[in-house]
Structure 1
C-alpha cells in the first residue's frame, strides 16, 4: 500500500513532517545516510513515542516491525470497528508499545476511518450501478488518499474470511471490496 508516502510510517496519521532514522543513529551511526533507514514519521511517533528506543531480542535482532521491509499485519491485528491493534507476535507487542499505536486519538481516528471507508465503498457501488464511473473513480482514489490506510488494507485482507460481513459492516461492503480496481489502485492509477 501507500503508507508512508503522505502519512506516518508508524501510526498512519497525516501529520508527517519528520524523518525518522528507523535504527537510531546512536546504535548505527553508519546508517545516517542509508535511505532504507529513513522513514517519514509524525512528530508524535518520532519525538514523543519512539525517540531513541529500539528494543532488541536476546540475540540482538530488532523487535520493531520494519514497515518498509515486512508486512506489519503479520505481527499486528487491527480490530476495525474498535480501532485497536492487538499483537500477534512479540515484535508486534514491541511495536505497539514503542509507537503508542493504541493511544486514544489513534484508536478513535482508526474507528472513524473504518466508518468513513464503509460509507465510501457503499457510495462507490451506487455510483458504479448508476453508470457514473468518473465519480466512482474519484471515490476509489479518496480511499487511498485518506489517513489510516491500514484500515482499508485490513479490510481488503479480511474480506475472504468466513462471516466477513460481520466484521466489515455487512455484505454490501464485502462485495464492494471485491472490486478489482481497489486491489490495483496504487499501481494503475485512476
Structure 2
C-alpha cells in the first residue's frame, strides 16, 4: 500500500506556513531575528546582496514538511533568490546533506572563489557544491558581478580612508569607514577579500592592487574591527 503521509504532511506544512496567524506570530519575529544576525544590512544568505526581505527554507517545504518550522532550516533571503532562482530546487549531496552550500554550517569560500576585480564567482576546483550553488542562486546573473566589482573598488577606497584616519588619530572617521565596509551591498565582497588576504595565493591575487591594500586586509586591528 502506497504511503501518502509524506505528501499530506508537506501540503499541511505549506498551508500552516501561509496562515495569517503564523505570518504574524512566527514569520515576522523569525525574519527580524535573522535580520539582526545577518552581516551587512539584511544580507541575503545566498547571493550576498543587502536588503533581503524574505525567510527561505533551505530544504524546501515541499521536500520536507517537518523542517518548515525548524530554526536551522530558515535563512534570510532576497526575493530574487527565494523565488526567481532557488525556489524549490534541491539536491542531495549523496550523503546526509544538501548539494547547495549551507551558510549556517559551512564556509562558502571552501567551495566558491570570488574574483574581486571581475565580481564573478567560480567553483573551487572539484567542488560540486560550488558549481550547484552558483547555478541555483544565479550568483553570476544580471548585474550582480558588476555590482560586486564596484563594491571591491569602494572597499579598497574605504580601506585607505580608514588607514588615513588612523594615522590622523581620527577615531570617529575610522568607525565610519568600518561601518561602510560592513554594511555595503554584497557584503560577501568584504569577506572574500579578507579571506583571500591570508591565503598563500594572496601576493598573486592582489598583484594589480596598491600593496597597501593587502597590508591593510591583514591588519589585526582592522580585522578585529570587522569581526573576522
Query: Is TM more than 0.5 here?
Result: yes
Q: 1:165 aligns with which of 206, 209, 215?
A: 206
Give distance in 1, aligned partners of 2:141 and 2:227.
Answer: 32
Alignment TM-score, normalising by the size of structure 1: 0.90
Give distance in 2, aligned partners of 1:4 and 1:113.
Answer: 13
Give distance in 2, aligned partners of 1:42 and 1:91.
Answer: 21
Give distance in 2, aligned partners of 1:123 and 1:80.
Answer: 19
Q: Give yes or no for contact 1:5–1:40 (8 Å, CA) kept in 2.
A: no
Distance 1:60 1:157, change over 3 A: closer
Q: 1:34 aligns with which of 70, 76, 80?
A: 70
| In the alignment, structure 1 residue 20 sits paired with structure 2 residue 60 | no
1:164-183 paired onto structure 2 within 5 Å: 164-166=205-207, 169-183=209-223
Q: 1:102 aligns with which of 132, 140, 145?
A: 140
Q: Give yes or no for contact 1:2–1:186 (8 Å, CA) kept in 2.
A: no
Other-structure match for 2:175: 137
Alignment TM-score, normalising by the size of structure 2: 0.76
Other-structure match for 1:86: 122
Deviation of the 1:60 alpha carbon: 6.5
Could you say which structure has the greater relative contact order, defined with CA pairs below 8 angstroms and 6 or more residues apart? 1
- Aligned to 2:105, the other structure's residue is in SS state coil
Q: 1:123 aligns with which of 138, 161, 169?
A: 161
Deviation of the 1:5 alpha carbon: 6.4
Give distance in 2, aligned partners of 1:184 and 1:9.
Answer: 22
Deviation of the 1:181 alpha carbon: 3.1
Gaps of at least 5 residues in structure 2 are: 1-36
CA radius of gyration, larger in: 2
Give distance in 1, aligned partners of 2:57 and 2:41.
Answer: 16
1:33-72 paired onto structure 2 within 5 Å: 33-59=69-95, 61-72=97-108
Deviation of the 1:162 alpha carbon: 3.0
Q: Deviations over 1:52-101 (max 9, x none)?
A: 00122445641100011100000000000000000111001000000100
- Aligned-residue Cα RMSD (Å) equals 2.0
